[in-house]
């Protein structure tokens, strides 16, 4: 079978597995990405039916598109009014969890280097890995908590956290990569670069949203409405990057504003009809289908590139456990003063799956030629798999807890609205 035919079979298999995985998820609660990863492992490392290079050659180009789809879809669906009650704590949990993940990454590299298990790399590389795996995955968390086995307050908190950290991981990882690639040794460079890129990305995103908002009503009932939106986000990403801004922040800002245009526009222009700026069902379906394609590709690729070396798997497993361990204090701090049951606390603690954003970002260090990144992608892919398994098993176990004793006796976690 030629390479083109082989690619067609692989793509067909990924799509069918993705659809089957969603069907199984609806029946069992096991995240659908697990089956994509398992299929990738069987097709790659186990039976060697598919060579990873068949798909990895497309990653540098596909990665930017995937990041744009992830950020634009997540931000567009985030309803500010609905999450306002838990947004402060959700964002706080995201920031604390992200910071603790970076600390866990540094601790892991320090210990592994001291024990001679990994080659010595710069501390900035430690920070880069921490940024890549710093956020939880909205692609995995949101469908899981939507099944109803997770209390509403916990579900809202996790949705806000995962949406925020998807973007935070992308932004911070790209800033650190820029620092490592530039070779500048000035310690203030990351801070200056971060401020400039985020600021410019935010401004360009706001301008982009202002220019695109008038196009929403005439395109609202058109079949290509989402196509125009996605094309605009891709162009905005490229424009921001070419102007030395942060494309991820530009896309995040524009999508968030456009997704909430139905409530923002009437406030800015009294008398405007907000409902004409709301997303239609066809746009939501198109967005979900695009996310499905991206998800199917990357989680199958994660399985293909799953390491076969037992030592590397053990290191990835140890790093995953460290991430879980360091998440516990983040949850404690973020929920301090909240009326929290032990069941809710442990649901928040095990909700640590890394996913699509981490998978995309994991491929970038090698693409940019960062020293010590030769085996980084496969190691992070293994970490993603282990974190998803911990999440799936943890939710299944903790959901059966009957203990409803509150840890704190003050504020309630349930949304007030």
Whether 262 is covered by a domain: the verdict is yes
CB 128 within 8 A of CB 361: no
Whether 366 is covered by a domain: the verdict is yes
pLDDT of residue 58: 67
CB 348 within 8 A of CB 333: no
CATH assignment of the domain containing 206: 1.20.1530
pLDDT of residue 409: 43
Which residues of the chain, if any, have pLDDT below 70? Answer: 1, 3, 29, 54-60, 63, 80-86, 146-149, 183-191, 193-194, 281-282, 402-417
Q: Which two tokens stand for residue 354?
A: 């890394």
Whether 337 is covered by a domain: the verdict is yes
pLDDT of residue 386: 94
CA-to-CA distance for 314 and 327, rounded, in angstroms? 20
170 closest CA partner among 354, 357, 323: 357
For the segment 25-34, what is each residue's pLDDT rounded down to a tens digit? 777 767 778 8
Whether 214 is covered by a domain: the verdict is yes
pLDDT of residue 416: 45
Domain count, the chain: 1
Whether 347 is covered by a domain: the verdict is yes
Q: Which residues contact 416 (CB under 8 A, 6 or more apart)?
A: 85
For the segment 276-293, what is each residue's pLDDT rounded down to a tens digit? 887 776 677 777 788 788
Whether 218 is covered by a domain: the verdict is yes
pLDDT of residue 47: 82
Q: For residue 83, what are the domain limits?
A: 59-412
């Amino acid at each position: 079978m030629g390479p083109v035919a082989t690619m067609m079979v692989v793509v067909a298999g990924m799509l069918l597995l993705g659809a089957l995985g969603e069907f199984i998820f609806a029946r069992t609660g096991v995240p659908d990405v697990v089956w994509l990863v398992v299929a990738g492992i069987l097709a790659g490392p186990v039976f060697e039916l598919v060579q990873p290079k068949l798909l990895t050659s497309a990653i540098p180009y596909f990665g930017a598109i995937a990041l744009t789809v992830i950020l634009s879809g997540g931000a567009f669906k985030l309803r500010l009014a609905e999450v306002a009650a838990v947004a402060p704590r959700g964002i706080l949990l995201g920031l604390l969890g992200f910071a603790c993940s970076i600390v866990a990454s540094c601790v892991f590299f320090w210990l592994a280097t001291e024990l001679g298990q990994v080659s010595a790399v710069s501390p900035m590389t430690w920070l880069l890995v921490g940024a890549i795996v710093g956020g939880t995955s909205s692609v995995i968390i949101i469908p899981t908590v939507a099944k109803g086995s997770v209390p509403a307050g916990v579900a809202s908190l996790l949705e806000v956290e995962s949406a925020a950290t998807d973007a935070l991981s992308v932004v911070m990882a790209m800033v650190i990569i820029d620092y490592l690639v530039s070779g500048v040794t000035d310690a203030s460079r990351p801070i200056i670069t971060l401020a400039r890129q985020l600021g410019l990305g935010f401004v360009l995103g706001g301008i982009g949203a202002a220019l695109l908002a008038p196009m929403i009503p005439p395109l609202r009932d058109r079949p290509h409405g989402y196509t125009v939106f996605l094309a605009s986000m891709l162009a905005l990403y490229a424009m921001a990057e070419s102007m030395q801004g942060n494309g991820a922040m530009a896309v995040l800002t524009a999508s968030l504003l456009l997704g909430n245009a139905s409530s923002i526009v009437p406030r800015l222009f009294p008398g405007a009809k907000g409902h004409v700026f709301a997303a239609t069902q066809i746009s939501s379906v198109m967005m979900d289908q695009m996310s499905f394609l991206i998800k199917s590709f990357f989680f199958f690729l994660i399985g293909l590139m799953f390491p076969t070396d037992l030592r590397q798997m053990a290191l990835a497993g140890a790093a995953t456990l460290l991430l879980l361990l360091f998440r516990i204090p983040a949850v404690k701090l973020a929920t301090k003063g909240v009326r929290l049951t032990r069941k809710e606390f442990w649901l928040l603690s095990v909700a640590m799956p890394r996913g699509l954003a981490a998978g995309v970002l994991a491929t970038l260090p090698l693409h940019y030629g960062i020293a010590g990144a030769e085996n980084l992608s496969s190691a992070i892919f293994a970490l993603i798999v282990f974190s998803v398994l911990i999440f799936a098993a943890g939710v299944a176990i903790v959901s059966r807890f009957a203990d409803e004793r509150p840890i704190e006796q003050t504020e309630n976690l349930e949304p007030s609205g």
